[in-house]
Structure 1
Amino acid sequence: MTNWLLLRGLTRDQRHWGNFHDELAARLGVEVVTIDPPGFGTQNGRVSPRSISGITDDLRGRFDRGDDSWSLLGISLGGMLAMNWVHRYPEDFERCVVVNTGAPAVFRPHQMQFGLMSLIAGKRFRSLDAHEAAALKLTSNRPPEQLAELSTTWAQYQREAAPLDASVLAQVAAAATFRLPTRIPVPLLVLASKGDRLADHHMSERIAARFDAPLRLHPDAGHDLTLDDGPWVCDQITNWLAHAK
């Protein structure tokens, strides 16, 4: 059995996985670990690199693989990092799963979502609690009463380990300049949500087609698919592994 490393998305750190890593570990019966990207969480005193490759190399330098075999899952920006990592260092991971990710190469202007830009632009004019409430309203399709409690927790994360503005802008620049790899040399599974209001699910469809990878679509979850329906994600991975050659 292979263990799993999880990579979070734009401006988020490992605390934002909630209990998903425990769900996946229990379902697969393996070790599931998380890591903070440079500039966020335990790394918030540093400035993030401005490229996906630079962030990937920083993560790789801090990740202790030991003698175990590993697979990789990334959501959103974490999906970009995951594809870059397995393309450049295919010996590091046996398999890769990307969730609600994208890239400029598969973006179409008519599918532009303005929510992220307005969220980032308005951050300095809101309280932390209001900002996190706005972020969750954009990225999750959970009922409002659930998001209210969660936004309070996530605002506290910001108070405990606020990232530098330079790191937020660096991650945005990294995502905007990311180039899809020419190939993914390990088995790839693409997961996406039709209810994603941040990254249009058609980008995931194009990524799956480009790399001839299986695609699974959730009917109504939001961008933060592991938050909205972690058991569904676990089901897709379990089924994928069960049918692996």
Structure 2
Amino acid sequence: MTNEVILLRGLFRGCYHWGDFPTLLQSEIPEKTITCIDVPGNGELSSQVSPNTIDGMVESIRSQRNQNSKVDLLAISMGGMIGLKWAELYPGEVESLICINTSVKGFSPFYERLLPQNYLKIALALASGSYRREKIIYSMVSNQKLNIGLVKKWARYDDLHPMKVGNFWRQLSAANKFQVSRPSCRLYFIASEKDKLVSHKATLAMAEAWGAPVIINEVGGHDIAIDNPNWLSQRVVNILNVT
């Protein structure tokens, strides 16, 4: 049994954007250590240059660890790509991987990996100030009523750790050219049926191709940790067999 669960975020989001979820999950599995690590260019590492490959992101995540024991990974969106590549390259380091709303080239068309109604929104977000940008992002990743308080928190954090548009494009390029083989670790998928950013079909396609179990969330958006934190925490605990 592993003693550490590492949480990995997606495109241009950092540990901060998990909100209260890590604390919630930690309360459910106190015998494990819940750790969140930022990719260069995101979160508290926003001043750094993002790797332009998922492999490079894996190496950065690994270099930031304080121990070398096996880990369980919980990863959302592009974080799932990082988790998959980590498990593929270093099978002795990853015990299990739970991918949330993750898509990979080769399993589904581009218009399912990023739904077309978001193209203009993303362009507007990149050209906007922190508050407007975070408001647009919220509209894409959450199915909940607009939470102005949360958006303001995200904007204040972005002011402290400002995004660099160049890093966005480096990360997007890394995600677009990413390819991976099925890792040998225990592998699970979670998909939001009503995801407005990435079609849940993209996640289902991977799960079916690799014969991996998939759990469907019927109400939450792309970021289930925002919309359904308790639901997500319970599913993770069940998967890790530590109930």
Shorter-chain TM-score range = over 0.9
- Cα RMSD for the two superposed structures: 1.8
The structure-2 alpha-carbon separation of the partners of 1:124 and 1:211, relative to structure 1 and needing over 3 Å to count, comes to: closer
Q: Is the 8 A contact 2:126 2:165 kept in 1?
A: no
Separation in structure 1 between the aligned mates of residue 212 and residue 123 of structure 2, nearest angstrom: 35
Separation in structure 1 between the aligned mates of residue 195 and residue 87 of structure 2, nearest angstrom: 25
Give CA-to-partner distance per residue, 1:68-96, whole Å, 9 cap, x none. Answer: 44211110010110001111111112111
Q: CA deviation at 1:214?
A: 0.8
Separation in structure 1 between the aligned mates of residue 103 and residue 126 of structure 2, nearest angstrom: 26
Q: Is the 8 A contact 1:138 1:198 kept in 2?
A: yes
Q: Secondary structure at the match of 1:105?
A: coil
TM-score, scaled to structure 1: 0.92
Separation in structure 2 between the aligned mates of residue 110 and residue 128 of structure 1, nearest angstrom: 27
The residue type equivalent to 1:45 in the other structure is S
TM-score, scaled to structure 2: 0.93
Q: CA deviation at 1:65?
A: 2.2
Q: Is the 8 A contact 2:5 2:35 kept in 1?
A: yes
The residue type equivalent to 1:203 in the other structure is A
Q: Is the 8 A contact 1:192 1:225 kept in 2?
A: no
The residue type equivalent to 1:178 in the other structure is F
Give CA-to-partner distance per residue, 1:111-135, whole Å, 9 cap, x none. Answer: 4512443233113543321111111
Q: Is the 8 A contact 2:101 2:191 kept in 1?
A: yes
Separation in structure 1 between the aligned mates of residue 119 and residue 51 of structure 2, nearest angstrom: 20
The structure-2 alpha-carbon separation of the partners of 1:109 and 1:176, relative to structure 1 and needing over 3 Å to count, comes to: closer
Unaligned runs of 5+ in 2: none
Q: Which residue of 1 aligns with 2:56?
A: 54
The structure-2 alpha-carbon separation of the partners of 1:193 and 1:171, relative to structure 1 and needing over 3 Å to count, comes to: same
Separation in structure 2 between the aligned mates of residue 124 and residue 212 of structure 1, nearest angstrom: 37
111-120 or 169-178: bigger deviation: 111-120
Separation in structure 2 between the aligned mates of residue 194 and residue 14 of structure 1, nearest angstrom: 24
Q: Secondary structure at the match of 1:198?
A: coil
Counterparts of residues 171-186 of structure 1 (less than 5 Å): 171-179=171-179, 181-186=180-185
Q: Is the 8 A contact 2:72 2:97 kept in 1?
A: yes
Q: Is the 8 A contact 1:138 1:197 kept in 2?
A: yes
Counterparts of residues 36-185 of structure 1 (less than 5 Å): 36-66=38-68, 68-108=69-109, 111=112, 113-144=115-146, 147-179=147-179, 181-185=180-184
Q: Secondary structure at the match of 1:122?
A: helix
Q: Which residue of 2 aligns with 1:14?
A: 15
- Would you say 1:215 and 2:214 are equivalent positions? yes
Separation in structure 2 between the aligned mates of residue 107 and residue 192 of structure 1, nearest angstrom: 14
Q: Which residue of 2 aligns with 1:191?
A: 190
Unaligned runs of 5+ in 1: none
- Would you say 1:4 and 2:13 are equivalent positions? no
Percentage of matched positions with identical amino acids: 28
Q: Secondary structure at the match of 1:95?
A: strand
The structure-2 alpha-carbon separation of the partners of 1:109 and 1:178, relative to structure 1 and needing over 3 Å to count, comes to: closer
Q: Is the 8 A contact 2:102 2:202 kept in 1?
A: yes
Q: How many residues align?
A: 240
The structure-2 alpha-carbon separation of the partners of 1:37 and 1:70, relative to structure 1 and needing over 3 Å to count, comes to: same
The residue type equivalent to 1:187 in the other structure is R
